[in-house]
Amino acid sequence: MAKPLEVHKRWQAISTLLREQGEVGVDELAARLSVSANTVRNDLNAMAAESLLIRVRGGAVAVDQNGQFGSQVFAERARHFQREKELIGRWAAQLVRDGDAIVLDSSSSVYFMALHLAEHRDLTVVTNGLQIATLLAREPSNKVVLAADIVRTDGYSIVGQLNPNLLHRFNAAFCFVSGSAFSWDQGLMVLDIDEGPLKAEMITLAEQVVALVDHSKIGLTDIYRFAEPAEIDHLITDEGISQAQIEQLRQTAGFPITVVGSDGAETHQPLQPKAKKRVYHIGFGNLSEEMMFAQQVRRSLERAVVKFDNIELLMKDNRLDRQTALDNADWFVGQNVDLMIDYQIDAHAGNIIMDKFNQAGIPVIAVDIPLPGATFYGADNFRAGYLAGEVLGCWVREHWQGRLDLLLKLEMPEVGPVTSARLLGQQVGLESTLGFLGESQIISLDCPGVLGAAVQRVQQILATLPSDNHIGIIGINDEAVLGALTAFEQAGRIGQVVAVGQNADRLGREALRKPGYPFIGTTRFGPENYGEELLNLALKILNGDAVPPAVYNQHIVITRENIDEYYPLADDKLMASSPQPLSQQMT
């Protein structure tokens, strides 16, 4: 039956807008077409029934978005069991919460799910689907990362090796995938041997793998198996699945099966659930709760551990004290921890501590300060120092015409090679712009890395420094450097000094925001990100995966010019005002 002329015109107008915009909203269409919202909804539903568009909450999207990415091929796939995929996708989207990190493959089933993520915010999305990427990137608060780098000739997906930036670092809450076939003994399969290996890598990035499989694929097999049944945590299908298939899955699969229909959903639990993940007990000996940077490392671990359902974290404070660190090591051995993350500053105690853990068979990750035989995580100390030294040298050349009378180096010899590498890097970076400094121009001072103690130490030698000299200050961390600047300021001599720091901790960032203050830069170590990366590294070690002997941070110097890019002022104010509770497990 032919449509009335006015309906035909509305459909044409809707189709034109979809070609131009890719998506339309009910309210927008109602205003443009001068009709009621109910009339628009009826039009969209009717057009969806004829596969002219895809209906989503609040509007519709184009099946073929103006040929973008060659999506006609994709559109043909999307039309196959479209209603079932829409229902599956809508239910699956409910699993995602604002702020989640998720992995999405390029399948049409997952695309229908992505349509229902339009109202979500602050998502971090890894995908090999170009249409999915462009769809979710329209929300400015989302971060979308492509999983690989080779665009297929079909134009809607990407294949190739997994993006190396995701290896060993990225940890998603969910990976949503589909395939061309699924069976209870083989798992998820695809016909494409180019895309299959990438999907197999993508599912390793997430804590839970959720399979979106319409009933037409169940019981089938295909060429490439990318997800074994044991790797799947949840299967979502539609009411076209037979009762016999549900019972077969319940008997053989260790994951729940959710069957969705137009009237709701029902989840069937497996008769033999997966064995529970082993819970690992991981110890953390913190450097000192008196140091801002160490507090941030500890808090980052406390935030990160809530994302892991198989880790319990035990904490102690090493208190910048050798004997305390040794006593803590004995305590962690007595607790039978599975792995130790140790942040310990006394180089002389390092061998003793490592012998305790080695004798107990406990692997160790050393944070920022190497321990003999431990996997290292943290700063590339020479490079971090060099970057800050360059900034200092450029400032002296521009503001003091290259004149630097003295360089005050605030060291902590008990730390061992770390302080040497970091301070050497700063000096070499400085000299790369100003030229070599003579021995008489360098004053090395054994100085604590805690602000209050650093003030007192510099005050002791301040009278020996000429008041008419231009003095540059470098140090092991921000607190030592800021302590030195405080000593000069209290003596009324702040105008003769300029300084750079290391760590970019909150105190350092506050100093950078003080107008005219001679603290001009600090190398970012990102302690707020240590926690998740340390726990991911710990799990790889415990799982027997190969890990490098050292995992280094990527460093950048934070200055007044770029501080708000990396540390927005509003976030820093929130951090400063929020409570900083010490873990109940730390004593």
Q: At what angle do helices 292-305 and 478-490 cross, to 10 degrees?
A: 140
Asked whether residue 502 is assigned to any structural domain, the reply reads yes
Q: At what angle do helices 26-33 and 37-49 cross, to 10 degrees?
A: 110
β-pair type (556-558, 519-524): antiparallel
pTM: 0.51
List all residues 6 or more positions away from 321 whose beta carbon is below 8 Å from its beta carbon. 346
Please say which residue of 357, 378, 399 terminates a domain.
378
Residues 77 and 221 in one domain: yes
Q: How many CB atoms lie within 10 A of CB 578?
A: 9
Residues 220 and 153 in one domain: yes
Asked whether residue 275 is assigned to any structural domain, the reply reads no
Residues 216 and 293 in one domain: no
Please say which residue of 268, 290, 325 terminates a domain.
268
Where does the pLDDT of residue 582 fall: very low under 50, low under 70, confident under 90, or very high at 90 and above?
Answer: very low
Highest average pLDDT, of 429-438, 522-531, 547-556, comes from: 429-438
Where does the pLDDT of residue 75 fall: very low under 50, low under 70, confident under 90, or very high at 90 and above?
Answer: low
CA–CA gap between residue 341 and residue 366 (Å, rounded): 6
List all residues 6 or more positions away from 21 whose beta carbon is below 8 Å from its beta carbon. none
Find the CATH number of the domain harbouring 34: 1.10.10.10
Highest average pLDDT, of 203-207, 220-224, 287-291, 364-368, comes from: 364-368
Residues 103 and 227 in one domain: yes
The answer to whether residues 54 and 78 touch, using CB atoms and an 8 Å cutoff, is yes
Where does the pLDDT of residue 169 fall: very low under 50, low under 70, confident under 90, or very high at 90 and above?
Answer: low
Q: What is the pLDDT of residue 354?
A: 96
Q: What is the pLDDT of residues 255-283, one digit of tens each?
A: 999 999 988 899 999 988 776 667 899 99
Compute the 3-state secondary structure of the chain and give helix, strand, coil in percent, each to the nearest 5: 45, 20, 35
Residues 210 and 297 in one domain: no
The answer to whether residues 346 and 210 touch, using CB atoms and an 8 Å cutoff, is no
Residues 205 and 291 in one domain: no
Look-up of token digits 């203050």: 517
Structural domain containing residue 14: 5-61
The answer to whether residues 64 and 54 touch, using CB atoms and an 8 Å cutoff, is no
Asked whether residue 273 is assigned to any structural domain, the reply reads no
Tokens of 255: 């994951």
Specify the number of domains making up the chain: 4
Judge whether residue 570 has pLDDT over 80: no
Tokens of 223: 């060429």
What is the rounded (10 degree) CA torsion for 470, 475, 477, 479? Answer: -50
Task: Give bridge partners of residue 210 from the DSSP assignment.
Answer: 176, 234
Asked whether residue 293 is assigned to any structural domain, the reply reads yes
Angle at Cα 423 formed by Cα 418 and Cα 424, nearest 5°? Answer: 100
Find the CATH number of the domain harbouring 363: 3.40.50.2300
- Assign 546 to helix, strand or coil: coil
Residues 349 and 401 in one domain: no
Q: What is the pLDDT of residues 342-400, one digit of tens each?
A: 998 887 889 999 999 999 999 999 998 889 999 999 989 999 999 999 999 999 999 99
Judge whether residue 101 has pLDDT over 70: yes
Q: Is 378 left (phi over 0), alpha (psi -120 to 50) or beta?
A: left
Q: What is the pLDDT of residue 260?
A: 96
Q: What is the pLDDT of residue 586?
A: 41
Residues 154 and 191 in one domain: yes
Please say which residue of 268, 299, 317 terminates a domain.
268
Residue 163 DSSP class: P
Q: What is the pLDDT of residue 526?
A: 87
Residues 113 and 223 in one domain: yes
Q: What is the pLDDT of residue 76?
A: 54
CA–CA gap between residue 77 and residue 453 (Å, rounded): 68
Asked whether residue 258 is assigned to any structural domain, the reply reads yes
Asked whether residue 565 is assigned to any structural domain, the reply reads yes
Report the percent of the chain where pLDDT is more than 70: 91
Find the CATH number of the domain harbouring 209: 3.40.50.1360
CA–CA gap between residue 130 and residue 65 (Å, rounded): 12
Where does the pLDDT of residue 572 fall: very low under 50, low under 70, confident under 90, or very high at 90 and above?
Answer: low
Look-up of token digits 């670092």: 169
Q: What is the pLDDT of residue 408?
A: 98
Q: What is the pLDDT of residue 580?
A: 44
Residues 56 and 110 in one domain: no
Residues in the chain: 587
Q: What is the pLDDT of residue 483?
A: 97
Judge whether residue 130 has pLDDT over 70: yes
Judge whether residue 575 has pLDDT over 90: no
Where does the pLDDT of residue 444 fall: very low under 50, low under 70, confident under 90, or very high at 90 and above?
Answer: very high
Q: What is the pLDDT of residue 77?
A: 58
- Calculate mean pLDDT across residues 466-473: 97
Asked whether residue 544 is assigned to any structural domain, the reply reads no
Residues 238 and 312 in one domain: no
Higher pLDDT, 218 or 166: 218
Asked whether residue 583 is assigned to any structural domain, the reply reads no
Residues 109 and 127 in one domain: yes
Strands (E), 129-186: 143-146, 150-151, 158-159, 172-177, 181-183
Residue 567's nearest CA partner among 517, 516, 527 is: 527
Q: What is the pLDDT of residue 171?
A: 82
Where does the pLDDT of residue 67 fall: very low under 50, low under 70, confident under 90, or very high at 90 and above?
Answer: very low
Q: What is the pLDDT of residues 501-537, one digit of tens each?
A: 999 988 999 999 999 999 999 999 988 889 999 999 9
